[in-house]
Structure formats: structure tokens, C-alpha cells
């Protein structure tokens, strides 16, 4: 004991404890236990904390988003991409022969344009019901039924005598059969792809719908002759059959409320037994099934403000591009003297631009997504980040449309017109990828319905544009008509800015009302 009344005791580990003499120093049983433990182990006391940590039970690993192997994921995406190829192909393959069909069906340009409008109108509305059914009852069932309708309608168009009644009726069934697969395909991609990779995977899927406007006119131009026009529809049937067989025997059901992350297929091969309907194989609490589709539910999805804004904006943009495609035969054949097959080649420029821009913007969008997570301790970025690049895409689209209109009016060189068209088309490709990615992240359990609603508005807009473009050109001319369409693109930017600033508020409200937003949807 020192002069101040404090006792000093040393233990073998050179750790000193100081005790006031006024406090009882009678050693307890616990003190002897600790001391003896230290003497035996000859380790510092800190090791006790390490042992305590080891006793803490390890957290259960989070199940992967999907258990499909990377090669199986790519195979699924390629199959649905091929299926999605036929919807725009069916519309585009028809375009180089519009003038020829006036002669074949003994009618006017306005009536043949009306057949285009009917196709696009049905093409826009039908996916609402197919997508809602696929979000509830399964993807594969809708694939099998819709493509069967497509095959039969094309076969009949190729075989029956040419009548206007038959043309309009079977074009309706063509649209019914081909239109649903695009929106369902987007849902399938969302089923098997985690959000961090969804932009680039969605860009791959959209290659199918975007190759249609590129290859459709090329193929249709080769059949734009009185002796070969039936092969336009015969080709569609023949080309679709192998894809239909792949869907029957190689495409598994992917709807997450039925098969979860795909673990139910573990240990099974790639061969899929055809089933008209897949039973639910997972716990409903883990993968809850969405409510049964109703008109009220569809409108609640449409009236979700961010979805409403991006859907209408993309519809206005797509209507402008569709107007270009509809006037292409008139521009190239009547103003520049091109043949039907040569007109088909002019669609290459906008088609290639759409494909390249979609692939590039999909990869860039995913890169920004991963960088955000790396800088924010693994937290996912808000879906509204997908909106940022859309602003620049709408500006680019407006520039392309203005240039196209005035270049045609001034009868500039064909190359200048094609460059203007490529600018507008490339911007539309960017918008489609970013819009689709945003929607599937915003309301994951209604992915197919969201994409179907956007497709409906785009195609209804295209149908209206095809119906009125002749009158607009007659009143306004090419220059001012396409300048007006460009102004619509600029107006749409204001809606995108609103989503960027307030979109998270609507997502939070939707999440609170349990209408389909994932509880893990990130906040900005």
C-alpha cells in the first residue's frame, strides 16, 4: 500500500488495477475465477471479447435474386427477344407495300393507311389484358396462346383472296397475337434479372422490337410486287414457327409469385414440359401474388403519376417517329423516285441508330447504377436516376424531327434526310430503354402491366398519327408539321423534371397503399 492509501496489485499479464482503500477489498468468487483463467491462458483480457463475438449466431445469407444460371438467363432473354421481334416486324414489313396495296385491294391511300391505324390501335390496347393476365396467372400461358393466334392469322392472309374485309379483320388478329409478347417479355426480363443489370439486359430484350423496324421494311421490300405480296404474310408464319416451338419446350415459367427465384427448377434440365397453366410452387408470404387483374387495377397503375407522365411522354415521342415511317414510301417513291425494294433500304439508318443507342444507353445506365451503389455503401439508387438521361434524349429527338421536316421540304440530298431520321430514331431508342427500366423498378410486381400501358399509349399515338398525317402535311407542309412534333418532345421534358424532383413522394404513397411497389424500393 502506498502513502495515499491505494493498493496496487500486479497480475502476470502486466495489467495493473488500482483500488481505493476505502472500498472493501475482499475478493469475491468471481475475482478468483477471472484471475485463475488469466493465469492459465496467459492472454490479455481482450480475448474474452473475441470469444463473445464468435458466440453470436451468423445471419442467414440472403437468397439470390435468381437461381437461374447466367447461361440460362441469357437463353430465356434471347427467346423472349426473338418473340418480341415479330410484333414490330409485322407492322414494319407492311410499310413498303402501302402504295402497292392500293392497287391490290382496289382502294385509296386513306383506306390503306387506316389498316395501319387499326393494327397499331389494337396493338396498343390488347397488351393491357395479356400483361395483366401474365402478372397474375403466368407468362408462358399468354406466350403460347398469343403466338398461336399470330401464326394462324398470317397463314390465312397469305392464302385467302384479297378483300378489304379480310385484310382489316386479320390485321386485327395479327395485332392481337403479336402485341402481347413485348410487354410480357419485359416482365420476363425483370423476373430473372436483378436491378443492377436490368438496364443492359432490357437493352438486349428491346433489340427484338427494335430490329423489327430495321429488318421489316427490308424484308417487305423484297416482296413488294404483285406476284409476291402474299409472301409478306407467309414469311411471318414460317419465321415465327421455330420461336413458337422454343417457347413451348425450352422456356420455363418465370413469374416470381409462381416459381420464386427459380430454385424450384434446381437439378432439372432445360427442357420444359408444355403446360397451359403453372401452379404456384412457392410460399405466398415470400413471393406474394398480386391482386386479380381488374379494370380498376389497370387504371390505378396508369394513374400512378410518374408512370402516367413517362408513358404519355414516350407516346408523343414515338408518334413523331412513326409519322416519319409512314411518310417514308411517299417521300422516297414519289419525291425521290425510289422503288419499293429501295424504299425498304432507307429504313436501315433509323433501325441501326435505335439498336446502337439502346445498347449504349443500357450499359451506361447500369454503370451509373453500380457506381452509385459503390459510393453509397451498397444502397441502390432511386429509380428516378433513370430519368436523367431521358431529358437529353428528348432534346436529341426534337433536333432530328426538325431537321427531317425541313430537309424533305427543301429536297436536300437523301443522305441528309437519313441522318436526320437516324438522330430522331436513336433518341427514341434511348427513351424506350430508360423508360422501361424505370417502370420495372418503380412497380416491380406490375412490370408487364406497366410496359403494356406504355405500349398502348405509344401505339394509339402512332395510330392517330398515321390517320391524320396526310391532313397535317397538306395543311402545314413537312417543315412545320415535324417542327410541331419536335415541340411536343420539348414540352415532355417538363414532366420528366417533375418526376426527378417529386417521383419518390409518389412511390412512398404507393408503397403505403400496397399497390405493388417493393418495400425495398430506395429513396433518394
Q: What's the domain range around 399?
A: 70-284+305-512
Cell of 409: 421540304
In a domain, 521, yes or no: no
**Do residues 292 and 265 lie in contact, with contact meaning Cβ atoms separated by under 8 Å?**
no
DSSP tag of 7:
E
Rounded distance between C-alpha atoms, residue 409 and residue 480, angstroms: 10
Q: What is the DSSP string of 422-472?
A: HHHHHHHHHHHHHHHHHHHHHSGGGHHHHHHHHHHHHHHHHHHHHHHHHHH
Residue 357 CA to residue 276 CA, distance in Å, equals 37
Q: Strand, coil or helix: what is 19?
A: strand
Kindly state whether residue 493 falls inside one of the protein's structural domains. Answer: yes
Query: How many domains would you assign to the chain?
Result: 1
What share of residues in the chain are helix, strand, coil (percent, to 5)?
75, 0, 25
Which residue's C-alpha cell is 491505494? 6
What is the CATH classification number for the domain harbouring 275? 1.20.1250.20
Is 17 within the bounds of a domain? no
The answer to the question of residue 426 being in a domain is yes
Is residue 2 included in any domain, yes or no? no
Within a domain: 61: no
End-to-end CA distance of the chain, in Å? 63
**Reported pTM:** 0.63
Chain CA centroid to CA 178, Å: 17
- Are 278 and 139 within 8 A, CB to CB? no
Closest C-alpha among 252, 276, 110, 79 to residue 181: 79
Quickly tell me which residue has 457506381 as its cell.
371
Three-state DSSP at 260 gives: coil
In a domain, residue 520? The reply is no
407 located within any domain: yes
Longest pairwise C-alpha distance within the chain: 122
The neighbour count for residue 366, using CB atoms within 10 Å, is: 20
pLDDT of the chain, 524 residues: tens digit per residue? 444 444 444 444 444 343 444 444 444 544 444 434 444 444 455 544 444 544 545 555 677 888 888 899 999 999 998 988 888 888 888 888 888 888 888 888 888 888 888 887 787 778 777 777 777 778 888 899 999 999 999 999 988 888 988 999 999 999 888 887 877 887 888 888 887 787 778 778 877 777 777 788 888 888 888 888 899 899 999 999 999 999 999 888 888 888 888 888 877 878 877 777 777 777 777 776 666 666 666 666 667 788 888 888 988 998 898 888 888 888 888 888 888 778 878 888 888 888 888 888 878 877 887 888 888 887 777 777 778 888 899 999 999 999 999 999 999 999 999 999 999 999 998 888 888 777 777 766 666 667 767 777 887 787 788 778 888 888 899 999 999 999 999 999 998 889 888 877 877 776 666 544 333 333 33
- 166: phi > 0 → left, psi -120 to 50 → alpha, else beta; which? alpha
Amino acid at each position: 500500500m502506498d502513502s495515499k492509501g491505494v493498493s496496487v496489485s500486479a497480475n502476470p499479464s502486466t495489467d495493473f488495477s488500482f483500488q481505493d482503500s476505502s472500498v472493501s477489498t475482499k475478493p469475491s468468487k468471481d475475482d478468483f475465477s477471472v484471475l485463475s483463467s488469466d493465469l492459465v491462458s496467459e492472454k490479455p483480457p481482450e480475448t474474452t471479447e473475441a470469444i463473445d463475438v464468435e458466440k453470436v449466431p451468423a445471419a442467414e445469407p440472403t437468397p439470390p435474386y435468381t437461381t437461374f444460371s447466367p447461361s440460362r438467363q441469357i437463353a430465356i432473354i434471347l427467346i423472349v427477344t426473338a418473340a418480341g421481334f415479330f410484333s414490330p416486324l409485322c407492322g414494319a414489313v407492311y410499310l413498303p407495300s402501302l402504295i402497292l396495296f392500293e392497287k391490290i385491294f382496289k382502294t385509296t391511300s386513306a383506306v390503306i393507311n387506316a389498316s395501319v391505324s387499326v393494327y397499331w390501335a389494337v396493338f396498343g390496347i390488347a397488351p393491357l389484358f395479356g400483361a395483366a393476365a401474365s402478372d397474375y396467372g403466368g407468362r408462358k400461358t399468354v406466350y403460347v396462346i398469343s403466338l398461336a393466334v399470330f401464326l394462324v392469322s398470317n397463314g390465312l392472309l397469305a392464302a385467302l383472296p384479297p378483300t378489304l374485309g379480310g385484310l382489316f379483320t386479320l390485321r386485327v388478329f395479327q395485332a392481337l397475337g403479336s402485341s402481347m409478347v413485348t410487354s410480357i417479355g419485359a416482365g420476363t426480363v425483370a423476373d430473372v434479372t436483378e436491378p443492377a443489370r436490368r438496364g443492359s439486359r432490357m437493352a438486349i430484350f428491346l433489340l427484338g422490337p427494335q430490329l423489327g423496324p430495321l429488318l421489316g421494311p427490308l424484308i417487305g421490300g423484297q416482296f413488294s410486287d404483285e406476284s409476291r405480296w402474299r409472301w409478306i404474310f407467309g414469311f411471318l408464319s414460317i419465321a415465327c414457327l421455330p420461336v413458337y416451338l422454343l417457347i413451348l419446350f425450352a422456356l420455363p415459367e418465370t413469374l416470381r409469385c409462381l416459381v420464386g427465384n427459380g430454385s424450384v427448377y434446381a437439378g432439372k434440365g432445360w427442357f420444359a414440359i408444355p403446360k397451359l397453366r403453372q401452379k404456384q410452387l412457392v410460399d405466398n408470404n415470400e413471393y406474394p401474388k398480386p391482386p386479380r387483374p381488374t379494370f380498376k387495377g389497370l387504371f390505378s397503375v396508369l394513374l400512378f403519376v410518374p408512370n402516367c407522365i413517362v408513358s404519355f411522354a414516350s407516346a408523343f415521342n414515338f408518334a413523331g417517329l412513326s409519322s416519319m415511317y409512314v411518310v417514308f414510301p411517299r417521300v422516297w417513291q414519289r419525291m425521290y423516285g425510289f422503288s419499293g425494294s429501295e424504299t425498304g433500304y432507307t429504313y436501315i439508318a433509323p433501325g441501326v441508330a435505335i439498336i446502337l443507342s439502346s445498347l449504349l444507353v443500357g450499359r451506361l445506365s447500369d454503370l451509373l447504377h453500380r457506381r452509385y451503389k459503390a459510393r453509397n455503401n451498397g444502397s441502390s439508387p432511386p429509380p428516378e436516376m433513370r430519368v436523367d438521361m431521358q431529358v437529353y434524349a428528348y432534346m436529341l429527338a426534337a433536333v432530328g424531327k426538325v431537321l427531317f421536316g425541313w430537309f424533305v421540304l427543301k429536297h436536300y440530298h437523301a443522305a441528309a434526310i437519313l441522318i436526320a431520321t437516324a438522330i430522331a430514331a436513336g433518341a427514341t431508342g434511348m427513351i424506350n430503354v430508360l423508360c422501361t427500366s424505370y417502370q420495372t423498378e418503380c412497380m416491380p410486381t406490375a412490370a408487364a402491366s406497366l410496359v403494356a400501358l406504355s405500349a398502348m399509349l405509344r401505339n394509339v399515338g402512332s395510330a392517330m398519327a398515321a390517320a391524320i398525317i396526310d391532313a397535317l402535311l397538306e395543311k402545314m407542309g413537312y417543315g412545320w408539321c415535324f417542327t410541331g412534333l419536335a415541340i411536343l418532345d420539348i414540352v415532355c421534358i417538363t414532366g420528366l423534371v417533375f418526376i426527378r424532383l417529386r417521383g419518390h413522394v409518389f412511390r412512398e404513397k404507393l408503397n403505403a397503399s400496397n399497390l405493388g411497389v417493393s418495400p425495398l424500393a430506395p429513396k433518394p
